[in-house]
Structures are given as structure tokens and as C-alpha cells.
Structure 1
């Protein structure tokens, strides 16, 4: 092949590669837009956070208005969530996996608070193993919390269901907090904390499977199994335990757990 032919071949390959890269970028931007996500690269040493979004970010900030200092984003975290976000990040950076997941409220461009889910991973460390850069995504979960508010707001229906249903059940939100429980549940198992009830009712060796099935239910997977539970009188009884996702569209906003005595 002549020098001219080689040059033309390389130019064609370069043009093809650039076109393919541009097409992949368009596909990625489209996927992020319709999934209501952005992805970001966070330099932890320089305290710089670069946001990649299709057009404007999910909080409504145009590219030209977004600052790349991490403080710009820290200042927009809800004050009630800030400490939990900071602590969860610190734990993630010190963990062997270096994976960060956290849900919190962000202030959008209009001044409203919007629920989002952060998912990040430390992909670059220095020679001593200290984290240098984290990459990840931010996803809007606002619809799920609006559904939870609607669910909580249906007081008449829910109160009647809780009082009258002859079944032991509770409903837990995405953070594992019990939103409501039936009267039968309270009669069988006694008063329980809204956040630590699973640890109280289950045997220690059964906790891991329960938590795993609960996380699967949040991903829209229905499961059931037999498990012993601790009754109010201190005895153990076998139950058939169902975990049923409560969904709106593709979003699971809570999990219904039903306990049937055997």
C-alpha cells in the first residue's frame, strides 16, 4: 500500500472511530436523560466534581450554571440529611469495597427539595491506597417518595385496614422503616421499634436472609419462605413470610410483608 493509500486508510479509520464515539455519547446521554440520572467524576483531593448530563442536570441546573466545586453540591443537600450523607461517604471511603450508596434530598434550581439516590465507586487510589477519585451516578427517586406521601395520606382507608384486617402484616419504606402495621401484628408480637423490629423478631441466623429478601423486594421481586418468629409471650412460632413489592410503574415505593401462622 502506498503512503497516500495508508494515510487515506488511517483517516477513514479515525473518522469511523470518532463517529462511533459520538454515537455512543448520544446513546449514553439519551439513556441518562430518560432514566433521570447524571453521572459524575469526583476528584477527592482537588475537591472538584465534574457532572455529565444530557442538556441540564436532573435538578434543573444548566451546564453553564453548574459549578464544579464540591461545595456547590454540599450546600444544596438538605440540612436534615447532611450529617448522614457525610457519615455514609466516610464509611464508604474507609471500607474495603469503597462503594457508596446514599439517598437524600437535594435542592433543585427552583428551590424545592428533591429526593435522589447516590451510587459511587472509588476507581483511583494513590500508592498508599488513599482514595483519589470516585465516579458514580445520581438518580432521582422523587416519585417514590411522593407515592409514600400519598400512601400515608390515605388515612381513612389505612386506619380501617390496620384495625380490621385479620392478618399480621406491616409495610416498610425504602429505608426499612415501618410505615404502618396491623393490629394483629401488634397483638402477636407486641410493641416494636419502627426501625429495629426485624432484629427483635427473627433469630440471629435468619437475619441475613431476611434483609437480602427485603432488598430483593425493593427491586420488585416477590418472595416467600417459612421462618420462626418470636411472639409476644416469648415463644417461637413458625410463619409463612411473604414480601410483596408495592409498585407504581417500574418504581417500588414500599414493601408489604405478610406473616401467616403455620
Structure 2
């Protein structure tokens, strides 16, 4: 019976569904293995561009659930053409890494696109999660209300469960505050997507620069404190901003506080 399911023309849909069931059940490793088996069973069809694109989203989600954002990003870059679907999934990866600026940029790119109900809800969930991570903005409440309305009308709940664990708690609390407690009432006790630990995100030298950046914006002062050249500090700041997904000092400070990046430095 199993063999027959994977020999139909809809084999990719079947494989995607099987992998999603494993993900929701808390077995992403098993889900990824089953997905690979299904692709291998199809031979040449399994490696076809269309099939890879169809399975890119679930494969990326499985990697994220296994706390492997690099693997998730590689899958999206290799198998999914640039478009709304890719942008939403890239925003999810960026969110899991704490790269709020990158996530917002990807979501901004799909703001005027025609999206399915599921895509709209997932984009709204990521958008609300990002805004709840950074300093308060006038758009935060509106984003939470929009998410609540989308989930209420559609009956979808998976867009919430596919948020990183710390974000899920924040978004659920925000929804409850806006009168949408019922949309999160039957969620799993844990998020399906783990959060990437901040350890290892920045090098020791970058952490030293970041620590000084918390106190001053002066390149010269940061360089003096770390006994390096101003050019070295500029290079390290570019790397820090890129890794954090931000473009300025204020956002870097916000992400640092949110993710407790300097907790082990003191």
C-alpha cells in the first residue's frame, strides 16, 4: 500500500504530507528521513526541479525544527525560485536566527503579492513575531490584530505553531491581550520550530566589539578599548550587523538585549 502511494503522480504531495505529520508529531528527523526515502524511490522524478521546489518548504521546516537554519537556508536557495513562497520561508529562517531586519525586508517584499490564505497567515504570524521582538512601534498592535483576524476567519493554527519557541509565547500573549485567546487555545505545548542558541552566533572578538557598541557609537573609542584599528572595528561591525540582520546600532542593541548575547561576557 505504501509503495502505491508513492508511485502516483501526486507522490510529492503525499511525501510532503507524511513529512508534515512527522513534524507535527515532534519527529522532524524521522520526517526528513521519510522525505529523502520518497525522493530516492522516485529516481529521476525525485530530483526534478519541480519536485524539489514542491518539497522545499517542508524540507526547510524540518531543518529548522532540527535547529539547523543553515540547512534550511541552503534548501531554499537551491530549490525554491525567488517569489512570495521563498520570501516567507526566508523570513522564517531569519526570525529563527534573530535577524529581525532581514525578516522584515523579506516580508515587505510580499506585502503587495497575491497570497493564499495559508501564506497570508504565515506571513502575518512572522511579522507579528518580529515586531514583538524589537522596540515598540505603532504597527505592532495592528499586526497582532490582523494575525488574530486571519486565524479566526480561516481556522488555521499551524502558522502559530511554526514560530520559534520564544516567539510563540510572545505572540500568543499578544493575541490574548487583543481578544483572540481562542485562536491559540488548542496549540501544541511546544513550538515545532526550535530557537537557535545565541552561543556561536558571534565570535569572541565580535562580542567584544558589540559590548563596547552598547555604550558608544564612536569607532575610535571601540577601537581603543579593543586595541585594534578603526578599520578592523568597521569590518567587525559590518559582520555583526549582517549576522544579526540589522543595519544600525539601535537595532543591534535591541537584538542583543532580546537574545541576551552578552550574558556570558560579564
Rg (Cα) greater in structure? 1
Q: TM-score with structure 1 length normalisation?
A: 0.26
Which has the bigger relative contact order, CA under 8 A and spacing at least 6?
A: 2
Question: Which structure has the highest strand share of the two?
Answer: 1
